[in-house]
Structure 1
Amino acid sequence: MSKIYVLDTNVLLQDPHSIFSFEDNEVVIPAVVLEEVDSKKRYMDEIGRNARHVSKLIDRLRETGRLHERIPLENGGVLRIELNHRSFHQLQEIFVEKTNDNRILAVAKNLSLEEQTKENGRAVILVSKDTLVRVKADALGLQAEDFLSDRVVEVDHIYTGELTLYLNTDLLNRFYEKGELSLSELANHPFYPNQFIVMKDALGTSSSAIGIVDHIGKKVKKLVFNHDHIWGIRPRNAQQSMAFELLLRDDIPLVTLIGKAGTGKTLLALAAGLLQTEDLGKFKKLLVARPIVPVGKDLGYLPGEKQEKLRPWMQPIFDNLEYLFNTKKPGELDAILAGMGSIEVEALTYIRGRSIPEQYIIIDEAQNLTKHEVKTILTRVGDRSKIVLMGDPEQIDHPYLDEYNNGLTYVLEKFKDQKIAGHIKLVKGERSGLAQLAADIL
């Protein structure tokens, strides 16, 4: 039996094509949702873009029939704009105020009561990414679901970039001697290009080795680089060594790093970028950018020229640069950067329309990017450039994103089987004992 899905505004603003995600069921969009979408279409951000996209999409569907009737969709379902269920009779004793959320709930509740009077009444399900709307729906006896079709992974199985295998001593010794092993000898397990393999002795001895899968996914080979000393930074754990391997390889132009606060993502990427830009001359410029998303209440407009306005947002980058350059005095870092001229710290606001060739590009806090934004960034990358996307999917400040549908997770999952990409999850905090404890228990 088909179902009726009532969509909340945030579903459409998160994914304009969500109306096609419900197979052969009926999709109902309350009129108040159209009003909310209309109020957002003037925004100059991702929400505004999606609002405009939804408006145009529904307008095209209007050409096939009347919106308040059932319009057939290409996936076998139907779409209807609901105009006649704004009565608050069923909700007025529970939710007094006629907010937009409550009006959407009223539509779903009235439709549900209608279906209950029919002999073969259909189930009515409210779909919302707003947790409290789903809680309210449950209190009213309505079925409510989160919209999950925009998630790259359905469960907590985000690709980590490494795999631990327990091997017999002969295989380990052969890896030490030859520097490679055939993957068919290791395990009947799917491997990805540039995936790290941690090989341990099955007998429990301390013997172990780290290898990386080759581009064609046939062999595991020794790491190319000896990461002893890179701009004063030495890897403190296995995952940091793996990160340096990806950051320094010329044949891996796309690198994604995820990890909690204090695991060293930004510091490692900057050190590798400075080495290849300043010392080795592989790139003309080191470009560091991050999205402008405030944590907590926004400060509002900031005084000064563009660089002065950007300084508070980019301060985490400058903190790491001060550590790498070992600066002691106020203003010393600015003088160094001005003298070098090859390091550019920028906001992602200005990246659209650019072409960025022969540059080492670092995008910090990429978990706050949407799928569309991260696509925009990657399509800016020019010839002989390398781009590093990094962040913590558990620390998201964007209202419509979560751990499973943000741009960073999207890229690492979509590119994990591509030979030009590499990924590693940093797990151990190295900032301080306090920072690691806070990341674990808070």
Structure 2
Amino acid sequence: MSKIYVLDTNVLLQDPYSIFSFEENEVVIPAVVLEEVDSKKRYMDEIGRNARQVSRLIDSFRGTGKLHEKVPLENGGSLRIELNHRSFQQLQDIFIEKTNDNRILAVAKNLSLEEETKENGRTVILVSKDVLVRVKADAIGLISEDFLSDRVVENDHLYTGFIEVYISQDTLNRFYERGELPVSDVSSSIVYPNQFLIMKDELGSSASALGFVDKSRKKIKKLIFDHDHIWGIKPRNVQQTIAMELLLRKDLPLITLTGKAGTGKTLIALASGLLQTEDYGHYKKLLVARPIVPVGKDIGFLPGEKEEKLRPWMQPIFDNLEYLFNTKKPGELEAILAGMGSIEVEALTYIRGRSIPDQYIIIDEAQNLTKHEVKTILTRVGEGSKIVLMGDPEQIDHPYLDAYNNGLTYVVERFKDQTISGHIKLIKGERSGLAQLAADLL
């Protein structure tokens, strides 16, 4: 039996094409949702873009029928704009204030009560990404669900970029002697190009080896680079060693790094970028950018020129650069960067429309990017450039994103079987014992 899905505003603002995700069922959009979408369409960001897309999409259906009655969708379902059922009769004793959320709840509840009076009444389900709306729906006996169709991976199955395998001592010895092994000798699991295997002795000795799957997926090979010293930085664990290997490989133009705060993502990426830009000359410029998304309440407009406005947002980048250049005095880093001229620290706000060839590009805090934004960034990358996307999918400040639908996770999952990309999830925090404990406990 078909169902009725009532959509909250945040579902449409997250994915304008979400109305096609409900198969052969009826999708109902309350009139108050249209009002909320209309209030967002002037925003000059991703939310505003989605609001305008939703408006155009719904307008395109007007030619197929009356929206307040029901119009067919190409997937076999139907769409209706609900103009009635605004009555607060059922909810006025529970939720006194007539907020937009409560008006949406009232629409869904009244539709549900109406269907219950019918002989073959359909199930009414409220779909919202707002946790409290779903809690309220449960409190009034209404079925509610999160919108999960925008997720690129199921819970706890994010690609890590490495696997641990246990093999015989003889196999380990053959790997050291030959520098490679057939994948079939080591693992029966599905492997991806440029995935790393941490090979350990099955009898429990300390013998181990680290290798990566070649682009044919048939062989496991030894690491290419020596990671003893990169701009004064040495890897402290196996995942950091893998990260450096990926960051130094010129044949991999796309690298993604994920991990908790303090795992060394930014420091390792900057050190690798400086080595290849300043020392090797592989790239003309090192471009570092991050999205302007505040943690907590925004501090409002900032005085000064563009560089002065960007400084508070980019301070984490400058902190790492100060460490790498070993600066001690105020203004010393600025003088070094001005003298070099090959390092650019920029906000992602200014990247649209650019073409960026022959550059080493680092995008920090990429978990705060949407799928559309990350596509915009990757399509800016020019010939001869390398781009590094990094962040912590568990620390998201964007109101409509989570660990499973953000732009960074999207890229990791969509590119994991491509030969031109590599990924690693850093596990162990190396900032300090306190930072690691806070990341684990808080």
Query: What TM-score do the two structures reach when normalised by structure 1?
Result: 1.00
Query: What are the ranges of 5 or more consecutive residues in structure 2 without an aligned counterpart?
Result: none
Correspondence 1:162 to 2:162: yes
Look up the equivalent residue of 2:437 and give its one-letter code: L
Question: For this pair of structures, how many residues does the alignment match?
Answer: 442
2:235 counterpart residue number: 235
Determine if the alignment matches structure 1 residue 139 to structure 2 residue 178.
Answer: no
User: Deviation at 1:216?
Assistant: 1.5
Tell which deviates more after alignment, 385-394 or 168-177.
168-177
**Offset of residue 288 of structure 1:** 0.1
Which amino acid in the other structure matches residue 389 of structure 2?
L
Map of 1:357 onto structure 2: 357
Letter in 1 for 2:331: G
The answer to whether residue 277 in structure 2 is matched with residue 277 in structure 1 is: yes
In the alignment, structure 1 residue 308 sits paired with structure 2 residue 308: yes
Aligned to 1:105: 105
Q: CA RMSD in A?
A: 0.5
Query: What CA deviation, in whole Å up to 9, does each residue of 1:405-438 have, x standing for no partner?
Result: 0000000000000000000000000011111111
Q: Secondary structure at the match of 1:63?
A: helix
| Alignment-mate amino acid for residue 59 of structure 1 | D
Give secondary structure in 2 for the equivalent of 1:4: strand
Deviations 1:192-235 (A, max 9, x none): 00000000011111110000000121111000001000000000
5 Å-filtered alignment, 1:8-19, equals 8-19=8-19
- CA displacement at 1:188 relative to structure 2: 1.9
Give the distance between the partners of 2:81 and 2:294, measured in 1 at CA. 36
Find the aligned partners of 2:28 and 2:372 in 1 and give their Cα distance. 26
- Residue of structure 2 equivalent to 1:213: 213
SS in 2 for 1:119: coil
**Which runs of structure 2 are paired with 1:226-265 in the superposition (5 Å)?**
226-265=226-265
In structure 1, the partner of 2:171 is: 171
Residue number in structure 2 paired with 1:385: 385
TM-score of the aligned structures, taking structure 2 as reference length: 1.00
CA contact 1:161–1:425 (8 Å) conserved in 2: yes
Distance 2:297 2:402 in 1: 20
Name the SS of the counterpart of 1:16 in structure 2.
Answer: coil
Give the secondary-structure state (helix, strand or coil) at the position aligned to 2:64: coil
CA offsets 1:223-277 (integer angstroms, 9 cap, x no match): 0001000000000000000000000001111000000000000000000000000
Whole-Å separation in 1 of the counterparts to 2:216 and 2:63:
48
**Cα distance between partner residues in 2 of 1:186 and 1:228:** 27
- The one-letter code sitting in structure 1 at the alignment partner of 2:297 is K
Alpha-carbon separation, structure 2, partners of 1:180 and 1:142: 59
Indicate conservation of the 8 Å contact 1:262/1:436, yes or no. yes
Partner of 2:36: 36
Q: CA deviation at 1:187?
A: 2.4
Cα shift at 1:156? 1.2
Between the aligned partners of 2:69 and 2:155, the Cα distance in structure 1 is 37
Match of 1:368 in 2: 368
CA offsets per residue over residues 72-122 of structure 1, 9 Å max, x none?
A: 111110000000111111111110111100000000000000000001110
Structure 2 distance, partners of 1:295, 1:234, is 30
Q: How far, CA to CA, are the matches of 1:188 and 1:368 in structure 2?
A: 36
Look up the equivalent residue of 1:420 and give its one-letter code.
I
Counterpart residue identity of residue 219, structure 2: K
2:73 alignment partner in structure 1: 73
1:394 alignment partner in structure 2:
394
Deviations 1:17-39 (A, max 9, x none): 00000000000000000000000
Distance 2:187 2:339 in 1: 53
SS in 2 for 1:242: helix
Q: Displacement of 1:186 after TM fit?
A: 1.7
**Structure 1: gaps (5+ residues):** none
Distance 1:282 1:421 in 2: 18
- Residue by residue over 1:367-425, the C-alpha shift from the partner in whole angstroms, topping out at 9 and shown as x without a partner, is 00000000000000000000000000000000000000000000000000000000000
User: % of aligned pairs identical?
Assistant: 82
Q: Once the 2 structures are TM-superposed, how far is the Cα of residue 70 of structure 1 from its aligned partner?
A: 1.4
AA matched with 2:46:
E
Partners of 1:69 and 1:57 in 2: how far apart? 17
Runs of 4 or more, structure 1, over 2 Å off, are none
- Contact 1:148–1:154 (Cα < 8 Å) also in 2: no
Matched AA of 2:220:
V
